[in-house]
Amino acid sequence: MLDAGDALFDNQYLVPSKAASSKLKAKTILSSTQDMGDYIYNVGNHDLAAGFGFLEEMDSTYDISFISSNIVLSGTNDLAFEDHRIIERNNLKIGIFGLMRAIPPFVTEVEALDISATAQKKIKELRPQVDILVLLLNAERDIYKKIQTNFQGIDYIFSSRETTRTRPESKQNTDGPLKYNFGIQGKYIGRFDISLKDNDQPIKDITVPMMTIKSYEDRLNNLQKQDPSKPLEELYKDNVSALNLIGRLKQGIAESKKQTKDVENYSYFNLIYLSSKIPSEKKLLNLVNQTLKTCDELDKQGKKTSP
């Protein structure tokens, strides 16, 4: 699991009366995700809201990974967190490194090196070692647009600090890395399925044709509901508009399947909406409910003691 940054807090500053509850929520996130396998957090601007010392404590307390390739101890070139990770999955070597744009102004123990220069350094270092190179980026869209030419050599960029999310049906830029962002409300999880058969060939994004197939098949299935026992053409033989639509949908499915046929290396992206209909793991749900209850009590105490 990967997080591009700003996972722990809602802002770069803590509301004084809610500092205790905010820290408790952050600890609950980390204690829960450490049980989910390899969980890698890129350190983002908001993650430092409780100070560098708090994040250091969390890094040593929980079995998760905070990474950053451009956060260094102030006045030095000494990295404050793990530089990068290389993980292996099904004979694939995947390199993961993280960058962030700006340290909160009240945090003086660390500083952020230039994103572009650090990116080029990491690409040169990691590209020969891995099959897939991933950047976790904590930066606003306008910043990304200014420096995106420095990311050639990266396969995937997962970005935080952008308010909009990448829709699966959106066409990607074919001249550079595939870039995805998931919004700032935490309502979606992005899933990637990757198949790599020839390490010397590029990876083709087949998300758009796959989404087209799914969408068109769903529309045909809805048309079929009127009478599942009859072929669509017979069912709508007296409806010219419906017949034309059926023809276009079937043609679109056939063309999309051609685009995905015999593709050796591909990736497929899908968004999973975390709605209330998704069943929760009971133990985790109980933990969340208890944490929120405790947070309410801490907030009440905080209001009484705050100036």
Helix axes 52-61, 19-33, angle to 10 degrees: 30
How far is residue 47's CA from residue 6's CA, in Å, rounded to a whole number?
5
- Give domain 2-197+265-305's CATH superfamily: Metallo-dependent phosphatases (3.60.21.10)
Q: Which of 63-67, 163-167, 216-220, 287-291 has the lowest mean pLDDT?
A: 163-167
Q: Quick check: 268 and 206 in contact, CB under 8 A?
A: yes
Residue that has been written with the tokens 């609950």 in this structure: 28
Tens of pLDDT, residues 234-261 = 999 889 999 999 999 999 999 999 988 8
Res 184 pLDDT > 80: no
> Which residue would you say has higher pLDDT here, 139 or 174?
139
CA distances from residue 25 to 7, 38, 53, 239 in whole angstroms, order as listed: 10, 20, 17, 57
Confidence label for 202 from pLDDT (cuts 50, 70 and 90): confident
CA 243 to chain centre: 40
Task: Return the pLDDT at 276.
Answer: 67
Three-class SS of residue 61? helix
pLDDT, tens digit, 9 for 90 and up, residues 212-237: 888 899 999 999 998 889 889 999 98
- pLDDT at residue 86, as a whole number: 94
Task: Report the C-alpha gap between 73 and 188 in whole angstroms.
Answer: 34
**In the predicted model, is pLDDT for residue 280 greater than 70?**
no
User: In this structure, what token pair is assigned to residue 80?
Assistant: 């404050």
Domain boundaries, the chain: 2-197+265-305, 207-260
Other CB atoms closer than 10 Å to residue 44's CB: what's the count?
28
With CA atoms as reference, report the closest residue to 251 among 289, 219, 207, 276: 219
Largest CA distance in the chain: 78
Which has the closest alpha carbon to 81: 105, 35, 112? 112
What is the model's pLDDT at position 263?
85
